[in-house]
Amino acid sequence: MTDCLFCKIVARQIPADIVLETGRALAFRDVNPQAPTHVLVVPKAHHENAAALAAADDGLADDLLTACHAVAVQEGVAEPGYRVVFNTGTGAGQTVFHVHAHVLGGRSLTWPPG
């Protein structure tokens, strides 16, 4: 997708603070962090949201979750715990329509989220 912000980050056309790269996923720090650790994990392939990613049915969603956990371990937040969030749709606050997992940790996380 030529006009997608996260496709441009994947293509290194826009800079980002990349923390992990796998064969099919890229993880970089959120520019507006909501927690001491706030990393976005995206598939390199463009899918609009989590539903489209799941429908692709090629194991990519599995790879993405595996990458999320790897980020949490690398960031030192796997213990005591971290949160993985997929905002899906404008009503849930999705603003970038290239699916991304928010990996949040490093502080106590309240439930339910706002």
Active site (annotated) includes residue 100 = yes
Q: List the end-to-end C-alpha distance of the chain, in Å, as a whole number.
A: 31
Q: Which of 51, 55, 93, 107 binds ligand 5GP (CB under 6 A)?
A: 93
Tokens of 60: 């990519």
Q: Which of residues 8-37 bind ligand 5GP (CB under 6 A)?
A: 16, 28-32
Write down the least CB distance from residue 95 to Zn ion, Å: 13
Write down the least CB distance from residue 63 to ligand 5GP, Å: 19
CA dihedral for 16, 18, 22, 26, sign (positive or negative): negative
Measure Cα distances from 84 to 13, 14, 63, 71 in Å: 26, 24, 14, 11
The piece of 12-20, 77-85, 95-103, 106-114 that touches Zn ion (CB under 5 A) is: 95-103
Write down the least CB distance from residue 42 to ligand 5GP, Å: 10
